[in-house]
């Protein structure tokens, strides 16, 4: 069995870009507020994945990191 860390990365420290995160986890990863994550949803900067329309949104780690790197507003966590 392979061990993963808290954020879904492999034991070697390499994060899994396909890991699904909640809004709260996404906000923590990017050092943003949950409100900012919601606003980015509305603006189309982030696209949550849902298994059905009533499901809570989930975000792929790789999509989050790609979106912030391409953020034209310059609101990066770096």
HEC readout, 19-68 = CEECHHHHHHHHCCCHHHHHHHHHHCCCCCECCCCCCCCEEEHHHHHHHH
Inter-residue contact 44 to 72 (CB < 8 Å): no
| 59/71 Cα distance (integer angstroms) | 16
Range 20-69 has CATH code 1.10.3720.10: no
pLDDT per residue as tens, the chain (78 positions): 444 444 454 555 778 988 999 999 999 999 999 999 999 999 988 989 987 778 888 999 999 999 888 755 555 554
Inter-residue contact 49 to 20 (CB < 8 Å): yes
Q: Where are the domains of the chain?
A: 20-69
Supply the pLDDT for residue 71.
55
């Amino acid at each position: 069995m392979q061990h993963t860390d808290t954020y879904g990365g492999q034991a070697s420290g390499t994060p899994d870009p396909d890991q699904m995160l909640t809004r709260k986890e996404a906000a923590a990863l990017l050092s943003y507020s949950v409100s900012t994550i919601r606003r980015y949803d509305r603006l189309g900067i982030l696209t949550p994945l849902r298994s059905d329309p009533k499901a809570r949104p989930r975000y792929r780690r790789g999509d989050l990191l790609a979106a912030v790197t391409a953020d034209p507003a310059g609101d990066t966590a770096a």
